[in-house]
């Protein structure tokens, strides 16, 4: 298995632009998580899904952030419009039993 796949690995954009981050979970995993990591705030859970349904989005910072999971093998995290303070590494993870498996992350830089 290739593990959790995220794309792009790096994204540089300008303030105000729309950013879409993508995640393909491990096949058969029924939970998917989106995290954000910054030096200041550490690793924060943004939202998680169970069987493609959002369960807890209390970590989503504001309405500029949205996440979808149209099917069991794909999820997106969208930021519109992006701001410099959104610069961070965004991780996607999927879960089976007791482990969360994390992807390699997307490093987002908003200029």
Question: Binders of other proteins among 14-73, rule CB under 8 A?
Answer: 31, 33, 42-45, 48, 56
The 3-class SS string of 24-78 reads: ECCCCCCEEEEEEEECCCEEEEEEEEECCEEEECCCCCCCCEEEEEEECCEEEEE
Give min distance, CB of 107 to other proteins, in A: 9
12 binds other proteins (CB under 8 A): no
93 binds other proteins (CB under 8 A): yes
> Which of 11, 103, 108, 110 is in the footprint of other proteins by CB under 8 A?
103
99 binds other proteins (CB under 8 A): yes
91 binds other proteins (CB under 8 A): yes
Nearest residue to 86 via CA among 52, 63, 102, 104: 63
Q: Is the dihedral of CA 22, 106, 24, 66 positive or negative?
A: negative
109 binds other proteins (CB under 8 A): no
């Amino acid at each position: 298995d290739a593990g959790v796949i995220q794309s792009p690995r790096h994204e540089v954009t300008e303030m105000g632009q729309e950013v879409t981050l993508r995640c393909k979970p491990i096949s058969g995993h029924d939970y998917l998580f989106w995290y954000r990591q910054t030096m200041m705030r550490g690793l924060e859970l943004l939202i998680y899904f169970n069987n493609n349904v959002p369960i807890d989005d209390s970590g989503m910072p504001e309405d500029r952030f949205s996440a979808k999971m149209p099917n069991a093998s794909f999820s997106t995290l969208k930021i519109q419009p992006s701001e410099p303070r959104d610069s961070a590494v965004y991780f996607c993870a999927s879960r089976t039993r007791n482990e969360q498996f994390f992807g390699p992350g997307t490093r987002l830089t908003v200029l």
